[in-house]
Each structure stands twice: as C-alpha cells, then as structure tokens.
Amino acid sequence: MVNFNYEADFKLNNEEKLEHWINDAVSEENFKLGDVNYIFCTDPYLHKLNVEFLGHDTLTDIISFDYTVGKIIQGDIFISVERVQENATYYNVDFNNELLRVMIHGILHFCGYKDKTDGQAKIMRSKEEYYMVRY
C-alpha cells in the first residue's frame, strides 16, 4: 500500500494513478509492494532529517529509508517539493516529470539499485526514464 503524506503546502491530485504506477514498477522489478510512505515536505524539514540521520548538512530532493524485507518493498520516502521545483527549473523540465523521477528513484533504491558510481547512476537514470514513460 502506498500512503501519501503532506508536510508542505502541496497536494497530489492523482494519488490512485500514482499508486498503480508504483505498484506496477515494483511488480516489474519482481518485488511485492508492502507499505511505502511518501512524505512531501519543505527544504527545512528535509534538511533537518539529512543532518540528523545522515550527517549531511546539505539540501537534497529526496531521502529514502528502506525497510524492505526479502522481496517485500517497504519504506519511507521524503521528498522536498521546493527542491523538486528548483531542480525542474534548473534542468528545464516540467515539475510533474521531475516529481515522477524523484518518486520512482526512491522505489528503485528499495529494489536494490544504487547511484554512487557513474555506472550505477547511468543504470538508475535509465530505469527512471523507463518507468516515467509508463506513467
């Protein structure tokens, strides 16, 4: 089950469609969907988590906490709506496309994909694009 939570002045208008899309991606990666919580928040909210839990004193667009057990995808995905908007502007892409990219990015981490090396990041970007097209 996908839960959408809001700690910012923001609200998705297509939660059901997004939940189906996420579930389909999880299934295609040969996992099952457990409980995934998306928390849409502000830069200060996410910055505090970044410092407290990861020791990073920087702004970021997403932090994911993976509680996956075996093949059951579970976790919390915190997304800064402000950071997504700024990144969309910086990369000259539509806000909704950037939001989809970040949302699926967290799920892909839960499926075992990494993005620390150039090779891993290339695979991650390819998977993001693959699933974004399917939305």
For the stretch 21-43, pLDDT in tens is: 999 999 999 999 999 999 999 99
Is 2-134 a CATH 3.40.390.30 domain? yes
Question: What would the pLDDT profile of 51-105 be if each residue is shown by its tens digit?
Answer: 999 999 999 999 999 999 999 999 999 999 999 999 999 999 999 999 999 999 9
Domain segments of the chain: what residues? 2-134
Nearest to 11 by CA among 48, 54, 40: 40
Nearest to 105 by CA among 62, 56, 66, 70: 62
> Binding residue per annotation — 24?
no
> Binding residue per annotation — 20?
no
* Range 114-121 average pLDDT: 95
* Range 46-54 average pLDDT: 94
pLDDT category at 115 given cuts 50, 70, 90 is very high
Question: Vertex 88, ends 13 and 53: CA angle to 5°?
Answer: 85
> Binding residue per annotation — 61?
no
pTM (2 d.p.): 0.94
